[in-house]
Amino acid sequence: MRLRELVIHDRPVAVRSAGTGPVLLLIHGMAGSSLTWRHVAPALSQRFTVVAPDLLGHGASAKPRTEYSVSAHANVLRDVLTALGVERATFVGQSLGGGVAMQLAYQYPERCERLVLVSSGGLGREVSALLRGLAVPGAEHVFPLVCSAALRDAGGRVAELLGRLGLRAGPVVEEIWRSYAALADADARRAFFRTLGAVIDPSGQVVSATDRLYLAAHVPTLIVWGARDALIPARHGIAAHQALPGSRLEIFDDVGHFPHCEAPERFVDVLVDFVDRTAPTRLSAADWSRLLRQRAEPAAASPIDAMPAAAGVGGTRLG
């Protein structure tokens, strides 16, 4: 994938892209980068335009002292698409990226053609003990002791030596190591803990899209999960599938948190087949508003309801 740098609101945002055709927006997970899609991007780019940004605070993008909520990430991605001249895309998000993809579709429904959730965050409270432990207050100050530049460099030398001997780590180890190595940088580490704190506390995930899944019922949705995911349980994907009539669920046996890395050929086959079998949705902001109004409970009568229409606040009802 070709790497370019966009400047969004005076902040550099790294974006990798390749191919031509309908656009796939690939959104990586926490402490990751667009490089996580390297196993599937070459095959996908034969059919699609692949756009894979580094989220703000990650990879080669800027790491400012700013907000790192899923809404903030969604806003930046909207602006990235605008800067690239992309009006609509199929949103593909893994882990944190799944939560960002859902938020992006929620905030800007007119830009979402399809939704693909890969081991996605935001679909249940349970999350690994490791991530809950990192969310404990004060962990940010202790973490540099186990993730420093010196330890990163030493590990890199060991990996290089093993590579010369013909020994290579598997894709999961590579992903974990790349995330660990990135956090040796102080700015990346600060962004990581701010991102983590926006979605996880010591009791689990604090951001959930489950109460808004009914809105996604009008968007073709594919859910992909590894049966052996140790970070976010596969039952979250199963529950989301049950809550979304018409969605497609693919559970990969013998696969963990990174289906696109651990089983790239199957991942590509499933994603391409899903796109081929579904028509892109064309929801407008007005359509989205109508869906919300239809679901909303009628409000109780209030003094405002009784005011005459001339006052500018009467004459409208939810429902």
User: Annotated active-site positions, please?
Assistant: 95, 229, 257
> Nearest 5 degrees, angle CA 240-CA 262-CA 220?
30
- How far is the C-alpha of 64 from the C-alpha of 56, rounded, in Å? 8
Report the distance separating Cα 36 and Cα 52, nearest Å.
Answer: 9
Residue type for position 226: G
The span from the CA of 270 to the CA of 260, in Å, is: 11
96-107 and 70-84 are packed helices; what angle lies between their axes, rounded to 10 degrees?
Answer: 70
Parallel, antiparallel or unpaired: strands 23-27 and 89-94: parallel
User: What does the block give as tokens for 157?
Assistant: 């030398």
Task: Please choose, from the candidates 190, 168, 193, 189, the residue with its C-alpha nearest in 3D space to the C-alpha of residue 180.
Answer: 189
* Measured CA angle at 59 (ends 58, 60), to 5 deg: 115
Report which of 178, 169, 207 is spatially closest to residue 31, judged by C-alpha positions. Answer: 178
37 conformational bin, left if phi > 0, alpha if psi -120 to 50, beta if neither: alpha
